[in-house]
Amino acid sequence: MPDPSRTGPAPRAWLSWSSGKDSTFALQQVRRSRTYEVVGLLTTLSSEFGRVSIHGVREDLLDRQARAVGLPLAKVWIPDPCPNEVYEREMTRVLERAKHDGVRHVIFGDLFLEEIRRYRESRLSAIGMKAAFPLWGRDTAELAQAMIAEGLRARIACLDTKKLPSSMVGGEFDARFLGSIPAGVDPCGERGEFHTFVTDARVFRQPVNVLVGEVAERRGYAYADLRPG
């Protein structure tokens, strides 16, 4: 993290934006602490489906989120499935643009998975950039409750049907949801048990209203077809 005692401007950063609660809350924490000046969002999307990778969120909803937080959005288009070398090539290509604009940091909403953190740090170091993790190490049960208490609203965009019933997809991420998840499921879904789409938060200028459409199952995940409301 940058030195909080600095007197100069905060380092410019992009934020890895999944459309979900962790990246939203990471942005909220960084804006509150002023440790970085977030000047853009970065999202990977499936070129086959026109949706956010893993989360399955429509591109138009992603664009509405970016407008709601008032930041430009850089999109990394990748195939599905995506070989790792293709992912790294496309991500590097887009991040080189950020470097050209004076950005040297990328912020992530990761919570505790060490292997993912080391991978991100290694890849960014290879191109002369650094990773930051403002939520790292926080108790995930307390963090999930803090998100809800601070007014974050989200829908369950997709979930692992081996960990959660498909009937929960599309529902609200709220106290009722947290109280109903089985033991062993992380309250923030950090191991991939579920992913969210944020519809409102303190960093939003206006809500992003959604309608919940049909549920589709693919590769062991259930996806809610969220649409602009």
**How far is the C-alpha of 99 from the C-alpha of 119, rounded, in Å?**
19
| 172 within a domain of the structure (yes/no) | yes
| 143 within a domain of the structure (yes/no) | yes
| 202 within a domain of the structure (yes/no) | yes
**How far is the C-alpha of 24 from the C-alpha of 201, rounded, in Å?**
8
Kindly provide the b/e burial profile for residues 5-35, where b requires at least 16 CB atoms within 10 angstroms of the residue's own CB.
Answer: eeeeeebbbbbbbbbbbbbbbbbbbbeeeeb
| 22 within a domain of the structure (yes/no) | yes
Q: Which CATH number characterizes residue 65's domain?
A: 3.40.50
**How far is the C-alpha of 208 from the C-alpha of 148, rounded, in Å?**
16
| 4 within a domain of the structure (yes/no) | no
> Residue 193: which domain range?
12-228
| 150 within a domain of the structure (yes/no) | yes
| 149 within a domain of the structure (yes/no) | yes
Total structural domains within the chain: 1
> pLDDT per position in the chain (229 positions), as tens?
455 445 579 999 999 999 999 999 999 999 999 999 999 999 999 999 999 999 999 999 999 999 999 999 999 999 999 999 999 999 999 999 999 999 999 999 999 999 999 999 999 999 999 999 999 999 999 999 999 999 999 999 999 999 999 999 999 999 999 999 999 999 999 999 999 999 999 999 999 999 999 999 999 999 999 999 9
